[in-house]
Amino acid sequence: MKLYSRGQVLLYSLLSAVVVLLFAIGLGLIRLPTGTNEQASSTAAAPSSTGPSLELQESPKSKVPLLQTAEVNTYTADELENIKVYEQLNEGVVNITTETVAINWFLEPVPQSGGSGSGSIIDTRGYVLTNHHVIENAYKIFINLADGSQYEGKIVGTDPENDLAVIKFDPPRGVQLTTIPFGDSSNLKVGQKVLAIGNPFALERTLTVGIVSGLGRPIQTSSRTIIRDMIQTDASINPGNSGGPLLDAQGRMIGINTMIYSPSGGSIGIGFAVPVNTAKRVVAELIQYGKVRRGWIDATVVQLFPALVQYARLPVSQGLLVSRTRKGGFAERAGLRQGTEPVRYGSSIIYLGGDIITMVDGIKTTKLADLYSALEDNKPGDRVVVEINRGGKTMTLTVTLADREEVLATNQ
């Protein structure tokens, strides 16, 4: 056995104590006092003459100020704008549901659930603006308000060419309805913020936000008519949004949400709305007459097609051939010439040799749908400039318009 001197024992004991002390410090069992901690303790212990206060502290690493609770809960100016518009106007948007009639196996009429959509209350008497396709073929119409109440509505007037309709319900006496104010769609700019409120997938009064993505879009509806000057937006518009308002940042209606372009049926960022200026132009007539009175050229016209162009050796391949004019009518008095050579095409007779209409009111008329589009905003008695081709020469005439409904009824 090896013997150690007293000095060696003391040395080994001291080294062992140092090792144990370092190990305890490493484990955090013992903390050494520092000047920073003492200063912090002294600062914390020092009494404040102004009482307790909250001060922003900075992280020594990131140097990013820590936010107070009040600052975390504030909203941006843009968010406040959205919140204000929604809180003020969402109760002016209604949910519209319909019932239609089907025929069962026993040839009996049976009511069944129809479609659903949205609408805007535009008058405190209960007038609601929506899309025509929302209430098309409806046997019954139900209007659901924000407070959960439901009323049966009736159709006041429809305008299928602009996909617009006005319906009405009778609110109880004393009920104050929220109305959506009309704005102006003539000065819209691409990039302008817009908000859409509607009932997509029956989720009532949903708000979506986007911008005006495009202006003046001509869109063909399912009925083959063309709606001009549609507003394109990236605000989400899904099934159930149809008929709801498209609003500007001040909460004014600038459009009526109508359709989406989507292969899947859901929103992919391309929605379309009828400009509110179109609605303002037709709503008064819908309420007064139940329909929109439009002007028309009192003549029977035929859309050119290749076989007709080749057979008649026409000087142009696109346009509307004037087959007949009404005797003593506005078109005849304006100088529009009808055809003189009758030919049979299928079950109809076409008179060849008449003028070919190529432009009406500044819009090229290559097909019959163009004529409907050109005269959509014209009334009976209005005068329009008509460009024609007569024997290979281009001419212009000024034609007074007749009532379209009367002209088409006569031509049938």
Q: How far apart are CA 190 and CA 259, in angstroms?
A: 19
Q: What is the DSSP letter of 346?
A: T
Query: Which one, of 198, 189, 180, lies nearest residue 231 by Cα?
Result: 189
Tell me which of 116, 120, 133, 267 is the catalytic residue.
133
163 as an active site residue: the answer is yes
Cα dihedral 88, 91, 94, 95 in deg (nearest 10): 110
CA distances from 77 to 35, 184, 210, 219 (A): 46, 24, 16, 35
Beta bridge partners of 357: 320, 388
Q: How far apart are CA 286 and CA 213, in angstroms?
A: 30
One-letter amino acid for residue 241 of the chain: N
CA distances from 42 to 191, 240, 270 (A): 58, 66, 64
Tell me which of 116, 118, 132, 163 is the catalytic residue.
163
Helix, strand, coil percentages (3-state) for the chain, rounded to 5, are 25, 35, 40
Tell me which of 118, 185, 242, 267 is the catalytic residue.
242
Q: What is the DSSP letter of 20?
A: H
**Mapping DSSP to helix (H, G, I), strand (E, B) and coil, where does residue 107 land?**
coil
Q: How far apart are CA 213 and CA 198, in angstroms?
A: 19
Residues annotated catalytic, as ranges: 133, 163, 242
